[in-house]
Amino acid sequence: MTTFLKAPAPIATEATDELRSRVSDMLRDIERGGIDAVRRWSRQLDGWAPDSFLAGDAELAAAERQLDDGLREQIAFAQEQVRGFAQAQRETLVDLRVEMSPGVVLGHRHIPVAAVGAYVPGGRYPMLASSFMTVLVAKVAGVEQVVGCAPPQRGGGIHPAMLYAMRTSGADAVLCLGGVQALAAMTFGLIDGLAPVDMLVGAGNAYVAEAKRQLFGRVGIDLLAGPTEVLVIADETADPRLVAADLLGQAEHGPSSPAGLIAIGERVGRAVAAQVEELLGGWPTAEVAGVAWRDHGWIAVAADDDEAIALADEAANEHLEVQVAEEKLPAYLARLRNYGSLFLGEHATVAYGDKAVGTNHVLPTLRGARFTGGLWVGKFLKTCTWQQLTAEGTRTVAPAVEAICAAERLAGHRLTATMRLERAGAAR
């Protein structure tokens, strides 16, 4: 039985009936009412109803002028890291052609989705890096139309750095539109000049997540995500202050963001807990991170590495840091199975993956890592199979098809094989 120095609190994993109903009503209203309904909801929820939600060239140029050279250079560095890794991943996905038997050729192709809507959250914080992970990676995959979308600021318009990041990441169009109304407008093709999207990606609040859930099937989605999570495995070689900082660094995302520690030994757990409390005294976002730690932070004690790995796989966390003796890291990499993204060693912090190291930060939460990885270049590609047969191939395959169809009582299916077999000149 697991020992907890600080027990985890439950996280709400499902939308409330009220939220589901509200989102359903909004989607229905917007589909029926078109752009006028989009404008009405945007005015009501964001105080924003311009003649056009599309960011124009003048706005894009103004946004660029507001950024200093240093920030533009660092954005370019991060984009190149993400682009380079996505391109390397894409190169591992090769088309296939294989002759299974004489006259029977099978294969697959990786075909990009035609149009993607990338939602970039901008509520509590202006999220620049989300554009790199969604817009830029989709373009690397070969998506023809990528629409970047972000909510307006209180005074109207998209935060300049977010707008700049979206456009330089390769967005073919940028919408200043937020929430359910944004996803609906992109899905239903309500913006002049833009085709309806085939896929929605990117994180957002509970309303955005529920809208994606309800629109799934009509369009594809990346995944359904809850509050961001971090889990650290630490042994006696870890620096307790560094571990504590990494826990609070992710907890600042929001008051419901879980931060967990698997300490190998009780002494490690208590040392980290003490550092968390000390750091909170001067932490720049303590008003958020402190609440998240108080309500959803947790510390488990593991007897050894084996137990730590088992606990981590059970937690199936979004971000998993492993701060243990360096010689143990290869074993952790080989044995851990359930995580969104893995950070090995004291120099690899979640913030690197979130912003600029090159891996994608759109990752599964709420134990979704048990069955999926995060967003990556392959998510924007449809792996579609094909087949081509000769008469010889028909003589090989058709008898099995006939027998199986007969057993299934699918007479029409059987006839399509029989007719070809007769044309192929098979001996009967």
Count the neighbouring beta carbons within 10 Å of the beta carbon of residue 324. 22
Q: What is the DSSP letter of 219?
A: B
DSSP per-residue letters across 175-218 = EE--HHHHHHHHHHT-STT-PPPSEEE----HHHHHHHHHHBTT
Q: Are strands 230-234 and 339-344 parallel, antiparallel or unpaired?
A: unpaired
| CA separation for the pair 120, 151 (Å, rounded) | 8
Encode 395-424: b = buried (16+ Cβ within 10 Å), e = exposed.
Answer: bbbbeebbeebeeeeeeeebeebbebbeeb
Q: What residues are annotated to the active site?
A: 318-319
Strand partners, 145: 115
pLDDT digits (tens, 9 = 90+) for 233-258: 999 999 999 999 999 999 999 899 99
pLDDT digits (tens, 9 = 90+) for 36-61: 999 999 999 999 999 999 999 999 99
pLDDT in the model for residue 15: 77
Q: Would you say residue 294 has pLDDT above 60?
A: yes
pLDDT band at 426 (very low <50, low <70, confident <90, very high): low
Output the average pLDDT for the chain: 95
Matching residue, tokens 């894009």: 60
Q: What is the mean pLDDT of residues 285-297?
A: 95
pLDDT digits (tens, 9 = 90+) for 166-207: 999 999 999 999 999 999 999 999 999 999 999 999 999 999
Q: What is the mean pLDDT of residues 6-18?
A: 82
114 three-class SS: coil
| CA separation for the pair 89, 425 (Å, rounded) | 46
DSSP per-residue letters across 18-55 = HHHHHHHHHHHHHHHHHHHHHHHHHHHHHS---S--B-
Q: Model's pTM, two decimal places?
A: 0.94
- Do residues 110 and 381 touch, judged by C-beta distance below 8 A? yes
pLDDT in the model for residue 322: 98
- Do residues 324 and 261 touch, judged by C-beta distance below 8 A? no
List the domains of the chain with CATH numbers.
17-94+111-221 (3.40.50.1980), 227-373 (3.40.50.1980), 390-423 (no CATH)
291 three-class SS: helix
Strand partners, 389: 104
Q: Are strands 230-234 and 317-323 parallel, antiparallel or unpaired?
A: parallel
* Cα dihedral 68, 69, 74, 77 in deg (nearest 10): 150
Percent of the chain surpassing pLDDT 90: 93
Nearest to 13 by CA among 329, 404, 288, 316: 316
pLDDT digits (tens, 9 = 90+) for 371-395: 999 999 999 999 999 999 999 999 9
Instruction: Say which range, 4-18, 22-36, 182-196, 395-409, has the weakest mean pLDDT.
Output: 4-18
pLDDT in the model for residue 428: 45
